[in-house]
Amino acid sequence: MKQELIGRTSSRQNDLYHIVTNKIIEALEKGTEPWRKTWDTENEGLPVNAATGRHYSGINVMLLWIGAVEKGVNSNRWLTFNQAKCAGGSVRRGEKSTLVTLFKPFTEDSSDSEVEDKLTYSSRCFMARFHLFNIEQCENLPEHFYAKKPVLLDVERIDRAESVVISSGVPVIHRYQDCAYYHPKNDHIVIPEMGQFHSVEDYYCTLLHELVHSTGHASRLARKGIMTPLSQKMSNPVYAFEELIAEIGAAFLCAELGIQGHLQHESYIASWLKILKEDHKAIFRVARYAKEAFEYLILNTNKK
């Protein structure tokens, strides 16, 4: 896999942060949430490497969803130019790649004369960029690269979503009202009755959004946006940051569970754009927290 190493040259690394952030900003300014998968890929879940079967996560999920829209493809299966070649296929002439990122740890050593000249080590990460092609941009790939998972019935998708909610252990209180929220102090979710939503899918999208908030509780992942008492206003940057985590985490869950529904409202976008424009590394932190919340909920479900 050909990669361009970025970490040792700060200016080049910052360029990559800017490139990725600008892709997210551009999508938002066009009125499209880049973490919301608006097309149907049946039951394929999150983007996956067609050659290795490994699922992509975090910021790369959004980059690949943006790439799918830009390239006009529907599959969520991707691979590198060399992977296509090694499999006996090829990328069609003229096709453009989609940028993704990779963080890798490396260790620096330095001599410390005050500690008997022993080497001390500090662990850091460098960021690499590499480029993927969708299988729909390729030809002559083996048949198993195109194999699809069995399509789940609606009731099966809802059962899976319900399992995630139940396995979390967070109480869900239904009330006939106009808002949904997670209450950190009482550690429960309050949500309108299912019949108030336009669809069952919209109900679960909202519920999963609040469930991602609940992972920030002190007994779980202890995120600042949930641990710190805040006025519930999007003008508060910590609150807006936590809302973006919940939005993206819920999008990851919906994709994994095969649920197509409406997530949040357009009123949030201005605050999110402000965060991203002021800090070009913010979306990477958001994606990491969303990934942690997603994995926490899915792993808990798989344990039950």
Over the stretch 43-97, which tens digit does the pLDDT of each residue have?
567 999 999 999 999 999 999 999 998 999 989 999 999 999 999 999 999 999 9
Which residue among 146, 178, 205 closes a domain?
Answer: 146
State whether 123 and 181 are in the same domain: no
State whether 276 and 255 are in the same domain: yes
Which residue among 95, 128, 146 closes a domain?
Answer: 146
CB-based contact 164:211 (threshold 8 Å): yes
State whether 34 and 104 are in the same domain: yes
Tokens 């790649």 sit at which residue?
A: 97
Spans in the chain with pLDDT lower than 50 = 1-9, 107-123
- Which domain does 110 fall in, by range? 4-146
State whether 233 and 133 are in the same domain: no
Which residue among 126, 146, 166 closes a domain?
Answer: 146
State whether 265 and 187 are in the same domain: yes
Token output for 27? 């999508």
State whether 171 and 133 are in the same domain: no
Q: Are strands 188-192 and 181-183 parallel, antiparallel or unpaired?
A: antiparallel
* The pTM of the whole model exceeds 0.75: yes
From CA 25, how far away is CA 283, in angstroms rounded? 10
State whether 142 and 158 are in the same domain: no
For the chain, the domain total comes to 2
Mark residue 33 as left, alpha or beta (left: phi above 0; alpha: psi -120 to 50; beta: remaining): beta
State whether 136 and 187 are in the same domain: no
From CA 57, how far away is CA 40, in angstroms rounded? 19
Give the Cβ contact number of residue 195 at 10 Å. 9
Quote the pLDDT of residue 120: 36
State whether 172 and 266 are in the same domain: yes
Tokens 């605050």 sit at which residue?
A: 271
State whether 141 and 167 are in the same domain: no
State whether 71 and 49 are in the same domain: yes
State whether 196 and 78 are in the same domain: no
Residue 79's H or E segment, with its range, is: strand 77-79
Residue 139's H or E segment, with its range, is: strand 138-139
Residue 109, classified by CB atoms within 10 Å of its CB into exposed (0-12), middle (13-18) or buried (19+), is: exposed
